[in-house]
A and B are shown apart, each in its own frame.
Chain A
């Protein structure tokens, strides 16, 4: 019996195994989209519990569970992002764990990268995070986002081109400060 089926039939060990296998990349993805540990925690929790609900439309014969879970995290994160007003957004995207003084430069760089990624259009940002940080195959990203493979490739290229411009400007401004 596969893990999802066993978990849905009430087997706790199967559910926890499913959680242990998938929660880390899902948490990273949710955190990168929302910029908040608390939100990422809520989203990942909801994502696993949703899988057990009778109304859940997930069909293991058609979609691998990882693809489905990433899709749920993405949808939940987008819903939350829409609720956040733009004034609050900048502060949420900053690193919540501020570094001590000797790591200030690194923290600043990290924040700059996070901000640059978050400023990308939604689909470009999600494709970039799934491809670069989660190393998912492009075909799987296409399924998660309900896009054609060609559209995923072009969005990834555009995202990287935009980031190269944005971050190059940031790096040169740092060098000028020095």
Chain B
């Protein structure tokens, strides 16, 4: 059977036209949705507004007490997207971020959750308040020498935002030890197996797979030119048959120099 014969056979499989009721039911669904939005609009908006005001007030109070005041001059800001892959291979975007690297840690400048302005606002409030809250709690509950050891350890690691959880309200971070200085792996920033070399957005990157164990595997494509910023991070899950399935990916979309 040649290609033309196959095409002819395939064309014999016809489809009935969409029933007229389809347009009517979609139209009715649209109208019902609009009514629901109208019906609950003012009350819901008032509640959300009140919650937002409360959050903002609490934040201002905490920030005034704990936010470091020294301004940081940024050499670059990276726009990234976070993509989640479902079992069926379909993908969706969890969030977009703008961030940069400082002393081995990825610092978030802003982020947005597509199609969810309220969650975006709430998430941003949490991004600001949670680190400050945890710093305050650490000061109250952990002794000074231990805190110093934690600080030193942080300087010997490279951290990044790897995704988000709880309807994307809370950010997920991972940190791995730096590669020992002066070794062959030094340029790769992270301590781990070098599995790839790739140019991303005109920046040479090194694909490093840190040791993790278990059923999760991460690969970080770090850019030495951008102070070890990871321009891509893939997270894979081990399947029962031993293969790895990509479940999440962070991808840089643009590097803005001297923002």
Measured CB to CB, the residues of A under 8 A from B are 7, 10, 12, 15-16, 19-20, 23-24, 27-28, 31-32, 37, 40-41, 44-45, 48-49, 52-59, 62, 71, 74-75, 78, 96-97, 106, 109-110, 113-114, 117, 122-123, 132-133, 145-147, 160, 163-164, 167-168, 171
A-B contacts, 17 of them at CB < 8 A, read A16-B23, A27-B15, A31-B15, A32-B13, A41-B21, A45-B29, A49-B26, A49-B30, A54-B115, A55-B116, A59-B114, A78-B88, A97-B16, A117-B10, A146-B89, A167-B9, A168-B1
Contact B19 A75, beta carbon cutoff 8 Å = no
Across the interface, B13 reaches (CB within 8 A) one of A62, A110, A147, namely A110
Chain B residues near A54 (CB-CB < 8 A): 115-116
Q: A45-B25, A74-B90, A167-B1 are in contact. Are A37 and B19 (CB under 8 A)?
A: yes
Q: A19-B23, A23-B22 are in contact. Are A37 and B16 (CB under 8 A)?
A: yes
Q: How far is the CB of A67 from chain B (nearest CB, A)?
A: 12
Across the interface, B6 reaches (CB within 8 A) one of A109, A133, A167, namely A167
Of all chain A residues, the one with the shortest Cβ separation from B14 is A110
Across the interface, B26 reaches (CB within 8 A) one of A45, A53, A123, A168, namely A45
Chain B residues near A164 (CB-CB < 8 A): 1, 6
Measured CB to CB, the residues of B under 8 A from A are 1, 3, 6-7, 9-10, 12-19, 21-23, 25-27, 29-31, 33-34, 37, 85-86, 88-93, 114-116
Across the interface, B12 reaches (CB within 8 A) one of A58, A106, A145, namely A106
Contact B1 A171, beta carbon cutoff 8 Å = yes
Chain B residues near A74 (CB-CB < 8 A): 88, 90
Contact B10 A163, beta carbon cutoff 8 Å = yes
A contact face: mostly helix, strand, loop, or mixed: helix
Contact B22 A59, beta carbon cutoff 8 Å = no
Q: A54-B116, A55-B115 are in contact. Are A160 and B26 (CB under 8 A)?
A: no
Beyond the given A114-B13, A164-B6, please list 14 additional residue pairs across the A-B interface where CB-CB is below 8 A.
A12-B27, A16-B30, A32-B15, A37-B16, A41-B18, A45-B29, A49-B30, A57-B93, A57-B114, A71-B90, A96-B16, A132-B7, A146-B91, A167-B9
Q: A54-B116, A58-B114, A117-B13 are in contact. Are A19 and B18 (CB under 8 A)?
A: no
Chain B residues near A15 (CB-CB < 8 A): 30
Chain A residues near B13 (CB-CB < 8 A): 32, 110, 113-114, 117, 133
- Whole-angstrom distance between the alpha carbons of A23 and B101 in the complex? 46
Q: How far is the CB of A156 from chain B (nearest CB, A)?
A: 12
Across the interface, B30 reaches (CB within 8 A) one of A52, A57, A78, namely A52
Contact B18 A24, beta carbon cutoff 8 Å = yes
Contact B6 A19, beta carbon cutoff 8 Å = no
Q: How far is the CB of A41 from chain B (nearest CB, A)?
A: 5
- Whole-angstrom distance between the alpha carbons of A26 and B93 in the complex? 22
Contact A110 B92, beta carbon cutoff 8 Å = no
- Whole-angstrom distance between the alpha carbons of A135 and B132 in the complex? 54
